[in-house]
Chain A
Amino acid sequence: MSTRTLPAPVVARAGHRRLTLGLGVAAVILLLLMAASLSLGAENVPFADVWQSLTAGGTDADVIVRGVRLPRTILAVLVGAALATAGALMQALSRNPLAEPGLLGVNAGAALGVVIAMAHLGVASLTGYVWFALIGAGIATVAVYTLGSAGTAGASPARLALAGAAITAALTGVISAIVLLSSTVFNGFRAWSVGTLSGRTAPVVIQVAPFIVVGIVLTLFLVSSLNALALGEDAAKGLGANVGRTRLLGVVATTLLCGAATAAAGPISFVGLVVPHMVRTFTGPDHRWLLPYCLLAGPILMVAADLAGRLIARPGELPTALVTAIVGAPVFVYLIRRRRMAGL
């Protein structure tokens, strides 16, 4: 992975400039979208008032901008970044283009946590669910990883995928059983499982933000090992990467990222799957570029989807997950058809 033996500019200059520029453009797009997200919605607030409210406060728009839209926008950024990063991470670790956060049982674990909290512990508030969702996601991931990596062979991608599918299935069965035994729980569950940012306020953001930040930092530490791992396990070892440790830390990071994102917004499965693929067609498989791009592209998709969901069905809302899927699916299919999917 090292380019030490060659003068770096020879290797990378041409691509570098394009990629750096792209990163800047993406950042600008994200900022514009965030501004729009603060301003537009059931009731539009002029940008000037938004600015006033953010910097000084004390305006009529405070309730909408600071109380509702700011936390929601920040959460969209966090969730988008978390899911996209986790998706890229999972795809690299499992060398499976199908890999997405759901694969490790994260969604099922989080859902089970939520359902148990609602059915058996009488938790009814969003801030209350979050902890249970996180715990559920964590337990499920640990179970999948343990099962997938037990024995002498270690965690092979196929085994991990199968273990994830098995655990997800078993948990889904339990969830369905609990949900069908009580209408109240079913009602709460269907609201959570639709996947939306609607009604998320500052306390939720504060709850999940630390997990996501730690997860992202952890992932960035793994970048060069991921590049090595993409060449295959043996090649990675030959390059001096510690395969076992990379996998383990990768799984920890995935759990933190997806667990927190799912806990806050419900299951939003499309972002983690699609964003890395889209980004890869632009950056190629180098994780040193892939991950920063995911950190911007995920939030772009998420903020845009949330905004669109608010604007399309005014005064009602479409759930964010539905919009990400409606936007993401055609783009994804187009990419698949247009060229050979860039390998991992």
Chain B
Amino acid sequence: MSAVKTARRAQAAPHTAARLAWRGWSVLWSPRAVLASAAVVLVALGFALVQLGVGDYPMSPGEVLATLTGNRGEAQEFVIFDLRLPRLLTAGLVGLALGASGAIFQSVTRNPLGSPEIMGFTMGASAGAVAMVLVFGGQEGSGMAGALIGGFATAATVYGLANRRGIQGFRLILVGVAATALLDSLISYLLLRARLQDAESAYTWLVGSLNGADWQQVQIIGLTVIVMIVPVLAIGNQMRLLEMGDDLAQGLGVRVKPTRLRLLLIGTVLCAGAVATAGPIAFVALAAPQIMRRLTGGSVSIVPAALMGALILIVSDLAAQRVWPDSQMPVGIPTLCIGGTYLAWLLYQQSRASRL
């Protein structure tokens, strides 16, 4: 083999990735992923600008920018800072959390259908919230409390049941599916038993809504995201190695069991923040990593997936507000339509390019 030593005196390995270095810092990132991520950020910012400008009090992008930098009157400031900006930020941050959470779960389960939903968190949260709304008549905050209690209780149960000499992605999925199916039936039943009006408002929450999002929501989800940034970045590499099998990862120095538990915990907390803020918005966690993987041509990774999640939610929220301007349509609906259609389109495109 040595006879065929390549003549290339390579300075850098022939990567599909490039090194970014600054003093003690260095990271390896694929240019294509960086490019795609940057494009996603730009598009998201563009939509954000539009979203800040539209509504009952329309403003031009220039006006929006001027207001943001503090050069406009009180009316504009009220509209932007009190009404539209918190909603926009909530959408973006919820999207970030869901996208990242989805990437983590898909990696841990090595399954493109993996998502925080398999831990049962989302369904547990839904059941908890619906029960609270129907029992306590939808008092302020009771839904959120019910969601968090139900979510964490379910996630802990699923984890406990799936844990048998360590967690195995496969068993986790199966237990999660069982829990999800059970809770789903329960929710349908609760909805049927409730008064029509209560059931409708519970259903709206179930679809996931940003209506009435204010700075309090921004705080909840913002705090979740900020607290999770360092753990997420620190665990990314271990996550990639776990994808290649437990033995190999361990051979490379990853402590398999604690790492996997930590990943599940991070993913669940991110998801919990999103659910507490906006309800169980479906599908973002599933679609964002898959869409991004297909755009960047690599494997599932957290940061790009998070950015794509944010973009999906911002676009969806804009659609929710513009397509049905007077109906308080929950953001979960366009999310499903846009995410589903886009994923379908990507699958179709790739079938033509014949690469999965």
A/B contact in complex, CB under 8 angstroms? yes
A residues lining the B interface (CB < 8 Å): 97-98, 147-148, 150-153, 156, 158-159, 161-163, 165-174, 176-177, 179-181, 183, 186-187, 190-191, 193-195, 269-270, 273-274, 318-319, 321-322, 324-326, 328-329, 332-333, 336-337, 341
Task: Please tell me if the beta carbons of B351 and A173 are within 8 angstroms of each other in the complex.
Answer: no
Give the Cβ gap from A96 to chain B, nearest Cβ, in Å. Answer: 8
* Chain A residues near B171 (CB-CB < 8 A): 336-337, 341
10 closest Cβ pairs, A-B complex: A151-B351, A173-B336, A170-B340, A169-B340, A173-B337, A150-B351, A166-B343, A325-B185, A329-B182, A166-B344
Most buried by A among B185, B199, B203: B185
Q: Are B192 and A194 in contact (CB under 8 A)?
A: yes
- B170-188 with Cβ < 8 A to chain A: 170-171, 173-175, 177-179, 181-182, 184-186, 188
Question: What CA separation (Å) do A195 and B184 show in the bound complex?
Answer: 11
* Closest chain B residue to A144, Cβ basis: B344
Task: Kindly state the separation between the CA atoms of A270 and B182 in the bound complex, as whole angstroms.
Answer: 8
How extensive is the interface on chain B, given as a class? 35 or more
Q: How far is the CA of A324 from the CA of B185 in the complex (A)?
A: 9
List chain B residues, Cβ under 8 A from A180: 200, 203-204, 207, 327, 329-330, 333
The residue from A168, A170, A269 contacting B341, defined by CB atoms under 8 A apart: A170
How far apart are B327's CB and chain A's nearest CB, in angstroms?
Answer: 7
Chain B contacts for A169, CB-based, 8 A: 282-283, 286-287, 336-337, 339-340, 343
Knowing A183-B200, A186-B199, A336-B171 touch, does A173 contact B333 (C-beta < 8 A)? yes
- B282 lies within 8 A of A158 (CB): no
Check A329–B334 contact: CB distance below 8 A.
no
In the complex, what distance in Å separates the CA atom of A180 from the CA atom of B185?
20
Whether B181 pairs with A190 at a CB distance below 8 angstroms is no
Partner of B348, one of A147, A173, A274, A325: A147
> Interface SS of chain A: helix, strand, loop or mixed?
helix
Contact of A190 with B177 at beta-carbon distance under 8 Å, contacts A161-B113, A173-B334, A337-B161 already known: no
Judged by a CB distance under 8 angstroms, whether B112 is at the interface is yes
Question: What are 6 sample pairs from A and B whose C-beta atoms fall under 8 A apart?
Answer: A98-B174, A169-B287, A174-B337, A195-B185, A325-B182, A328-B182
Interface presence of B75 (CB below 8 A):
no
- Partner among B179, B286, B352 whose Cβ is within 8 Å of the Cβ of A165: B286
B200 contacts A191, C-beta separation under 8 Å: no
Q: Is the CB of A177 within 8 A of B290?
A: no
Whole-angstrom CA separation of A328 from B178 in the bound complex: 8
Q: Given known contacts A147-B347, A148-B347, A166-B344, is B174 in contact with A321 (CB within 8 Å)?
A: no
What CA separation (Å) do A191 and B184 show in the bound complex?
14
Contact present for A147 and B174 (CB under 8 Å)? no
Determine whether the beta carbon of A170 is less than 8 Å from that of B336: yes
Least CB distance, B283 to chain A, in whole angstroms: 4
- Say yes or no: is B299 at the interface (Cβ < 8 Å to chain A): no
Residues of A close to B330: CB separation below 8 A:
176, 180
Give the distance in Å from the alpha carbon of A150 to the alpha carbon of B349 in the complex.
Answer: 9
| Residue on B nearest A318 in the bound complex, by CB | B189
B354 touches A152 (CB 8 A): yes
Cβ of A171 to closest chain B Cβ, rounded Å: 8
Q: Which residue of A lies closest to B352 (CB)?
A: A151
B334 near A186: Cβ-Cβ < 8 Å: no
Nearest Cβ on chain B to A187's Cβ, whole angstroms: 6
Known: A165-B113, A269-B181. A159 touches B339 (CB 8 A): no
Residues from chain B with Cβ under 8 Å of A341 in the complex: 170-171, 174
Interchain CA distance A158-B186 in the complex, whole Å: 29
Q: Are A158 and B112 touching (Cβ within 8 A)? A: yes
Judge whether B167 is part of the interface by a CB distance below 8 angstroms: no
Measured in the bound complex, the distance between the Cα atoms of B191 and A321 in whole Å is 14
In the complex, what residues of B have CB within 8 A of residue A162's CB?
A: 112-113, 290, 343, 347
Q: A169-B339, A170-B337 are known contacts. Are A325 and B113 too (CB-CB below 8 A)?
A: no
Determine whether the beta carbon of A325 is less than 8 Å from that of B186.
Answer: yes
